[in-house]
Each structure stands twice: as C-alpha cells, then as structure tokens.
Amino acid sequence: MAEITGSCPPGFTAVGERFAAHIDAGEELGARFSVCIDGELVLDLMGGHADAARTTPFGTDTLTPVFSTTKAVTALMMARLVDQGLIAYDTPVAEVWPEFAQAGKGAVTLAQMLSHQAGLPGFVPAAEPEIWFDAAAVCARLAAQAPLWPLGTGSGYHPITVGYLAGEVFRRLDGRTLGTALRQDLCDPLGLDIWIGLPDSEHGRVAQMRKPPAAPDLGTIDAIKRAAFLDKGSAPGGRGSADWRRMEIPSANGHATADALARLMSAIAGGGALDGQAVISPATLEALTSERVRGPDKVVPFDLIWAAGLMKNTGANDLGPGAQTVGHYGWGGSMAMADPERRLSVAYVMNKQSVHLVADPRPVALIETLYGCL
C-alpha cells in the first residue's frame, strides 16, 4: 500500500484507506486531502510524488496549481468588498467601472457578473493567447464586447474571463490587486499557503502537473463554447509557465495547499470567522451563498446553481449530501467546499489531472467516504 503521511484519526480510517487505494491504483501521481470541522484541521492526508520522476514526495509544503478552484477564493475576496460597504451585490458593475457599460452591459450587477451571467465567457472575435498576460488589455476588450446572450437568460461558465472582471472591480474599489490583498489581509495574518500571483521565491515548491489524457466533454459545440474553451486565444499561451505563475489570474492560476484551502473555506462553513477573526459578517455570508441563477449552463454541459461566485450543491456536482454546501471544482480534479450545516470544510489537490471539469471521481469518492465516517 502507498505510504500516506499527515494525520488520520481512527474515526477516519476508511478515508485514509480510500486515499491510499487511489494512489495504489495509479489514479494519482501525488495528492492531498484535508478536512476541517469547526475551523480545526481534523484530517490531513498526503501521498505520492510532486514530480513526474517520482523523486520528491508530495509533502506539507508542496504547492499545487488549483485552476478554477481559485474562483472560490476570489468569491470570498469579493464578498469582503461587500462587507466593507464598498459595493453591493446588486450594484451595476458600470458604477465602479464606467467603461464596462459599453455594448449594452450597463445593467449587469456584481452578483450577475460573479454568477457567470454577463455573457463574456471569451473573446469574440478571438484574441491571441498572449493577451492574457496583459490584464489591462483583457479588461479593455471585455468592457467593449457585447454579451454573447441576453442578460437574464441564464448562466454560461466564464472559465478565465470572470477572474479578470472581478480583479478589475476589486482594484478599482480597493486600490490593490486582489492577489496582493489576499496575501496582506488573510494569508499572511492567518498563515494560509494560498497565492494568486506566485512570486519566484515559491516556484520551486510547485508540483509538476500531468495534463489530462483528453479534452473535457463540452457537449454540442457552438460559438459560445468555442469562445470560452476552444478558440486559439481562449486560454493563456505564448509565454512560459513561470510567467503564468507570476500573473494574477483570479479565476485560474491560484496555487495552494489543501490544508490552507480547507481552512479558508471553514470561514464559509463556520459563520464567517476563521481562528477567531471575522473574515466576513454573517449577513454578507448569507448574501455570498444565496442562489443567483440555476439551470442548464450555456458553456458547460451541466445544470448548475450559482451563488455569487460559488457553486451551490445540486446533487449532480457531488459536493457531498449537504443541501447548503457551496464550493468550486478546478480543471482536472481539485476542489474546495464548505458545508455550513456540519461546519465542515474540505479541499483536495493533486498533480495528475483528469478530464473532469466538475465532480472528479477521486474527490467525490473521498467525500462520500468522509461523510460515512461522520
């Protein structure tokens, strides 16, 4: 059986066995699964390797790219702006960012933008992939672009653009970039190993990612899905991985450890506080996690329920059995979730990506086993 490190109290033995079985079966290269209850880390499993050559164990300081799981962190940071009274969820984005009102977008609210209703999942016409390394250019293009569907007709997942949109609103209101504020206000004071915009000093800790064997299933392809996922410029390219890590892409390039993500999500699971520090007020937490839109998504082939930047549990997304659970998955398997009914938060990171955009079978199985132990 694979060597598993970390902590696994007797009551969670079945979770440890399931985690080890994934590694033994070759489903993982390296991975970590962390669980907090009432803000306390009660289960923390890691195993496998951080590198393709299998020479470096996946350890406590291994950072992993978490792709769209980053959006859960960004949703919390945007909620803090609401909590500070700098903006409300029903405020039109154009009140903060006047240029955004172009092409019929003047009524788009912050909540609609964060719940993927703004109609801007990608560039039309397509852009060159290098544009993503110039945040000002990305925001100018998106501000000028018309929505790809009428406002109020549903959600369409914005895989990368939503991070730039949120980041621009954050910068205009706070004066700092979202990644800088994350470090200064939450991660440094609370000891959280989460980064949006990774400095060179931390690059040596990043796990080597094994890309998925195939592209995700997007269902029937149309112009909206091509703009979001398939056009040449639908994702960053043309520069190296170090440049990508340094950039702040609050939708896609977060780097984190599982225990840090689980601890951060415990603020959502536990009424808005972490380690006795108020992260957001209970009233803002309720607004953050309230349903904003539900139904068939226009980009990914799922029925989704969106809060203000967080996925709400539908049963199909396999965020456990909790009716109030919220969270987010990342491309290839990573995930973070919060179950307020049980004051439980969970995070899973790995460096062997699968084809799944949501509900990767590995964390789904671990979560199912976890709830069986509670």
How many Cα atoms within 13 Å fall on the side-chain side of residue 351?
26
DSSP per-residue string spanning 72-113: HHHHHHHHHHHHTTS--TTSBHHHH-GGGGGGGTTT-BHHHH
**Strand bridging mode 303-306 / 311-312:** antiparallel
Distances in Å between the alpha carbon of 131 and those of 122, 232, 239? 12, 11, 10
Catalytic, out of 34, 68, 334, 345: 68
Helix (H) or strand (E) holding 67: strand 64-67
d(CA 326, CA 307): 8
**Strand bridging mode 335-339 / 194-196:** unpaired
d(CA 352, CA 159): 20
Q: Rounded to the nearest 5 degrees, what angle is found at the Cα of 71, between the Cα atoms of 151 and 294?
A: 40
Question: What strand order describes the sheet that includes 254-256?
Answer: 64-67, 254-256, 194-196
| Structure token pair of residue 73 | 């962190």
Whether the CB-CB separation of 373 and 343 falls below 8 Å is answered with no
| CB neighbour burial string for 186-206, b if at least 16 within 10 angstroms, e if fewer | bbeebebbbbbbbeeeeeebb
Give the number of other Cβ atoms within 10 Å of residue 331's Cβ: 23
Q: Indicate the residue type of 244.
A: W
Torsions phi, psi for 323 (to 5 deg): -65, -25
| Among 71, 93, 156, CA closest to 122 | 156
Q: Does 68 participate in catalysis according to the annotation?
A: yes
Q: What does the DSSP 8-state code read for residue 131?
A: G
323: exposed, middle or buried (C-beta count within 10 Å: 0-12, 13-18, 19+)? Answer: exposed
Active site residues: 68
